[in-house]
């Protein structure tokens, strides 16, 4: 008589473990920053938050009204990082 390798209890355990591992990866992978923490970061750190999530801050974008590059201040980088984090949470 041929013995089956299929063990339902073992399969359920493996599937449950895989589900828990995926869930933890999603939850733990999302970093949460307060407004104060974002404000305290450097512009490069804030830009890196977006870059690691696949976004780019266009530093050389041209203002169509003046024809000159936009002057990005620290608050602009804070807002960009906040938006990158928000988009990540919505995905």
| pLDDT attached to residue 59 | 83
Instruction: Tell me, letter by letter, the H, E, C secondary structure of the chain.
Output: CCCCCCCHHHHHHHHHHHHHHHHHHHHHHCCCCCHHHHHHCCHHHHHHHHHCCCCCCCCCCECCCCCCECCCCHHHHHHHHHHHHHHHHHC
Interval 6-64: pLDDT, tens: 565 555 455 444 444 444 344 445 678 999 999 999 999 999 999 999 999 888 888 89
Whole-model pTM: value is 0.63
Q: Cβ contacts of residue 30 below 8 Å, gap of 6+?
A: 88, 89
Using the predicted structure, report yes or no on whether residue 75 has a pLDDT greater than 80. yes
Using the predicted structure, report yes or no on whether residue 78 has a pLDDT greater than 70. yes
Q: Where are the domains of the chain?
A: 32-90
Count of CB atoms within 10 A of residue 23's CB? Answer: 10
């Amino acid at each position: 008589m041929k013995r089956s390798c299929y063990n339902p209890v073992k399969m359920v355990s493996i599937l449950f473990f895989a589900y828990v591992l995926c869930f933890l990866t999603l939850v733990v992978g999302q970093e949460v920053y307060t407004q104060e923490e974002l404000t305290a970061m450097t512009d490069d750190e804030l830009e890196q938050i977006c870059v690691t999530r696949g976004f780019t801050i266009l530093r050389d974008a041209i203002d169509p009204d003046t024809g000159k590059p936009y002057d990005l201040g620290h608050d602009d980088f804070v807002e960009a990082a906040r938006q990158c984090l928000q988009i990540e949470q919505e995905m």
